[in-house]
Structure 1
Amino acid sequence: MNQENMLAPRDLHTARYYWEDLEPGFSFETASRTVTEADVVSFAALSADYNRVHVDAEYAASTPWGARIAHGMLVASIVSGLNTRTVVNQLLEPSLIGMLETRIRFPKPTLIGDTIKARIEISDRRETSNPARGIVDFRRVAVNQRGETVCECDVRMMVLRRAQNDS
């Protein structure tokens, strides 16, 4: 990063990303997080999803995974939470209008004790009929500590565009 692109600490509170700043192909990584027993138990209670593969160790031992696995939606929620803690998301948050669509896939299960992190890429960006906003597609891919992909999530967001006089 050169001096021209550096942000002074006094300017951090006004720093902000808009639709125009989100170029397809740009990617970033999240921190990691370990999925715990408490996470799975709490999510089961919150969601009322007491599927035996999540909560019954004896039953789960007889499944192809050999152990209890985390709820897919818990894993997707953790990935979403990891994203919100990134600098990119912090700069983008004031410009986010809303989530329009989400598609999620779970190629491998996440076991209790697995540590996951995500790589997030801007996969597409397009204008809308309203010049004040645009659409951005994000691809989130989470991997565990073994490098196995455990969650693929495509998220479509509506994002504010930079005002014409702010160019």
Structure 2
Amino acid sequence: MNGWRWLGACLLTSAAAFAQAEEKGFTLRDLDVRGKPFLDSETVGKLPQQAPVTVITRQGGWIQIKADKTQGWVRLLSVRLGNPDPARNESSVASVFGAGRRGSSTATVTTGVRGFSEEDLKQAQPNPEEAKKMEGYAAGINSAAFAASGSLTPQNVPYFDAEGQPEGGKK
């Protein structure tokens, strides 16, 4: 009976360690690491292409990472999980069961990032006035033809901050 307890304790410990394992990855290009998950957040560090990172958490289209002495947020699609060397990307669990040794498959992988949390979707409310206002900004056939034939100059449109106020000027 004592052997069963020992085996159960080992299984629980290994399962807990596996569940708590952090995801490892690498950067796909040179990156600015942000203090918060926003494009206009302050830059807290820089990482070169193929820098090894550890993923801490995810939020919408952002992931919080740590690498050496740098910790912060980067865009989700700027990091690939696994090892930069494709020959070393097979996980230990997959290797135990022989997965990944069957050759190529015809499956296609698609990544979509919406940027909404589950809470955002639960609290969403329709706003017909804003939808109608947005439709008014669409260029019609006559407007597009006029713009194509004329000598128009570009106009700066200000960005807006989180409070909805113009920040001024084109970035």
TM class, shorter-chain normalised? under 0.3
TM-score under structure 1 length normalisation: 0.23
Q: Relative contact order (C-alpha < 8 Å, sep 6+): which is higher?
A: 1
Greater fraction of residues in strand = 1
* Larger-gyration structure (1/2): 2
TM-score under structure 2 length normalisation: 0.23
